[in-house]
Amino acid sequence: MKANEIMNIMNEITYGFKDNNGNNIIETDPKKWDNEFYNFYYLLTPEELLEKKCGVCWDQVELERKLFLDNNISIKTFFIYLDNSKDLPSHTFLIFKQNNKYYWFEHAWSTYKGIHEYANEDELLNDVILKFKYDYKEINKNAKLYLYEYEKPNSHISCEEFFNYIKTQKLIISQ
């Protein structure tokens, strides 16, 4: 299986999180999504995501991790966030190396959806950082940016547990 085939599988996934009735909360109750996400969210397993066909970037990267590793493609996963003591916008993403090129595999961040090629890992990470800062320019003015490389977390952890786990991983950038 190649990266394009993995993207085809990911294209069956929508962004969001389903409630107990199978409704995507981001669509059916945006106010709940905005105000209560940290209370109801938990990290899905790749199998749950394939079944529900709906998950946030944290969930999607774990399915991507499984699909790439099942196909013997070496990967790294990253978590980026801005902290201004009020807001914590974040994103997870996966990269892989093939034929001496580096690739940012992006599905959940719809603006940048695709497989992006770079000459090296630094160029890739700098591009993602610039795009992230740009997309959150109002928050970025007074925020500190963090980028972590992280290993597979446990499934079904809450937002708080996910953030706490990330902080035990390899800090790449703090600026």
Q: 10-residue block means of pLDDT along the chain (175 residues)?
A: 94 96 94 92 97 98 98 97 86 96 98 98 98 89 92 97 97 93
Token pair listed for 55: 């998950």
In the chain, count H helices and then E strands: 8, 6
Residue 120 is predicted with a pLDDT of: 98
Count Cβ atoms within 10 A of the Cβ of residue 39 and give its class: 0-12 exposed, 13-18 middle, 19 or more buried.
Answer: exposed
Token pair listed for 122: 């630094």
Count Cβ atoms within 10 A of the Cβ of residue 124 and give its class: 0-12 exposed, 13-18 middle, 19 or more buried.
Answer: buried
- By three-state DSSP, how is residue 174 classified? strand
Q: How far apart are the first and last CA of the chain?
A: 37
Domain extent for 155: 3-174
Count Cβ atoms within 10 A of the Cβ of residue 23 and give its class: 0-12 exposed, 13-18 middle, 19 or more buried.
Answer: middle
Any idea what the CATH number is for the domain that residue 36 is in? 3.10.620
Helix residue ranges per DSSP H, 84-153: 121-135, 137-140
Residue 84 is predicted with a pLDDT of: 84
For the chain, the domain total comes to: 1
Residue 122 is predicted with a pLDDT of: 97
pTM reported for the whole predicted model: 0.95
